[in-house]
Every structure is written in structure tokens, then in C-alpha cells.
Chain A
């Protein structure tokens, strides 16, 4: 019962945040870069619901645009990391043998490594920027997905429904994608929701450090590092973007818990 309630709350939160992010990709009430010094540190009002920052820029518009970029990065990361990771997990788990053993050893090695460091290596080689962040995080996220999917496939491949499908002469690929994959969807969705959070948080962290998304792309992480110094004079310029981030993590986290329960 509690799980169900959590999942509904999580689903609503996650949906609301996703809408917020998607809107940010296409529409902002003001130009996020437009400076207006008369509005410097203006507190929240009807015209500027989140207030204004040290250059008089509208915080809501910047947060919208920044979360749009965050969404793009997180979705791109999941496509690369989740997609390749799932494929890798499906094949290694199903076929086993020495490729499985080798890839999993390599996986163990990477999992023991702080993931943001790994992403930073890629960034230091590729240079910062939105697409490089997607590529770096995508590659870094492959092992965790591969590991989760593989462990599920190993459980399912010895179940009766797979055995009978094989007896009926169904091909390996069809068994993998039509029989096993839909049956491990809960675990996969749960991993994707957590992965979305982790990707968004990593992007925010990297942008906060100044080596993630670069201007002119807005980013919640960079907004925070810019406005952090004015935390006391204009708390809204830091708190509102931070709150948006917290709601996102909370929503997707609850959703993930609900799916894995």
C-alpha cells in the first residue's frame, strides 16, 4: 500500500518535472540571457515568479532553459548507456561463456572507479560541451545497465517459459527481445529512472565545476555556481533551481522504488 502511494506520488512528481523540462526546451517567458540591471536581485513577483539574479536575468526562464538542457543530456545518456548496456547485458547474460566472463571482469573494474572521474577523463580528452557530456556519461553508464540486465537475464533464461519457447524452435534473438525483455521491464524501468537521476545529477555537478555544459547553453549546475556567492542577498536565485532539482530526484527515485518493489 505504502509502495503504491509512493509510486503514485513519484509518478506525478516525475511527470510534472518532465513537463517543466520539455517546456524549457521550447519556451521561456523571458530571454534567459537578457540582462536588466534595474531588476537586479528582484525578489519573486508575479512577473518573475522565481525572482531575478545578479544581472537582473529572470531565474525562471534560466531554470527552464537549464532543465531543458539537463533533460536532453539525461535522455541522451540513457539512450547510449541504457541502450548499449541493455544489449550487452542481454547477450552476455543469455549466451555466457568467455565473452561474458571478460566483459564482466572489465565491468567490475569500471564500477569500482568513481563515475564522475571517468566522465571527467572523457571531458578532458573531448573538451566540454553538451554533446561531449552526453557521450562521456553515456559511455560511463553502460556497465551498470549491463550488470543489472545481465543478472535478470540469467534468472529468466532457465525459467519454464523460455525453455518451452526454445522447445518450440523459437530463435535466440526472438527469445531475447520478445520473450525475456518484456518480462524484465520492471527492473529495466527502475534502472532507467535511477539512471535518469544520476545522469541529471552528474551533468549538474560537471556544469557546476565549469567543465560540463558550456554557454550559451544554460545549465542549473552553472547557475548555482554563478549565484552561490549571492546566496544571502538573493536566496531565490539559488534555492528555486535547487528545489527543481530536488523534486526531480525525489520523483524519479520514488518511481524507481515503486517499479523495483
Chain B
């Protein structure tokens, strides 16, 4: 544990993620405004003492909307990554361990999933399902499944032939038992490495969908929707979009750095390479 705290990426990334999480968690304590309260006389104010990040085109406090919006954006990101992690890891482990026809079929399905650019896929799934929080988990989660599937499959293939797995099989352990007890625990450290950057990717996807106008319906703010709100007046009143975008970028940076740190720590090959 000490070793990882010496990793600069991990500490900086973790710090950013921690601070943003705290801001979002304690949002009610950090603002006296209501994120939906329209105040037209005070619309599109630049940052000042009253509104530290200014107000949007309906006079709503941008800082307030951003810290409350983080709740939506982070929930969507965590939920959709969880969907991808569970489905991708299970199917990947199954595919890599069982092999044969099942593996061939699942791998072709994976090829198909990977043929769609992520954002396009999310858009189309989102259109089919309609916009709600639960559906966002799926529309952003499904396109990330291949990330986890491929790693789980590759690891399961290499672990599957090891002697302790064969021993477990010889002692009469069923397939599911072997997968759950022996394959999955070996796969998880590898998926952990990409988990953090997957969350970053999910935040990016939510932001892009919101920016294109395909997020969770108003008035629930999410970072993407806040950026979208400010888009029309970006060139005369850039503050709304500028601050929302900066929060999105900072959070993604935090998760990416955290992921880099974890990878350095967990992957001995890269770790020694970095030391040299």
C-alpha cells in the first residue's frame, strides 16, 4: 500500500477524483442556490461575488448546477461502467475458459460491437431506449463491454490451462464453479487496470451525448447538458460552457491519472520499465 502512495499519477489522480467526489457529495452545503431556480433578471452574469461561476441563460447559478450536475454525471459514469464490468468480465471469462463454439460466437458478437464508434452506438441505443438514468447506464455501458470482454477473455485463456485450474476440474468442480472461484479472481486485477480509464471514458460519453442534446431530460442538470445550455451563447457568454467543460476535463484527467497509477503499480513489467 505504501508503494502506491509514492506513485505520483495515483496520488494526483486520486486527489482530483476525491476532491470532485467531495464537492458533489456535499453539494447542498456548498451552495445556497437551487439548481433549477430560474432568475431571468440575472441571466448570463459573468463570475462575481454573488455567483462565483456566473449564471446561465435562465439566470441559474452555474456553480450550483455544476456540483449538483456532478451527481448525475458521476452516477451515470459509475453505473454504466459497472454494467460493462459485470457483463464484459463474465462473458469474457466464460468465452476464454470454455473456448470452442461459444468462444467463437461471442468473439464475433464482440467484433460487431466494436464495429460501432462508441458515441454512435450510445446515441442509437439511447434513441431506442429513451432517455432516463437507467437507460443511460445501458446506452453508455454496452459500448464499453468489449474493453472488459477482451481483457477477461485473454486472461481466462492463459489462466485456464494452469495446473490449479486443472486440479479443480479433476476434483469435480463444475464449469461455473471453476470460473467463479479460479478464473474471475485472476481476471479482476487486469480489469481493475482499465476500470478507471473506463469510468473516464463513460464521463466523456455522457458529456458528449449531453452536449449533442441527448442526455437525461431537463431540468436534471448533468455536465453534458450544462455545456449544451451554454452552447448557443458560447461566443458572447462563454462562462457556462467553459466551467462545465473544465469540470468534465478535470474529472476525466483525474480518472485517467488514477488508472495510469494503478497500472504502474499492478503491472510489474511496466513498473520496472518506468523505474529505469
The answer to whether A binds B is no
Question: Which residues on B are within 8 Å of A, measured CB to CB?
Answer: none
Q: Which residues of A contact B (CB under 8 A)?
A: none
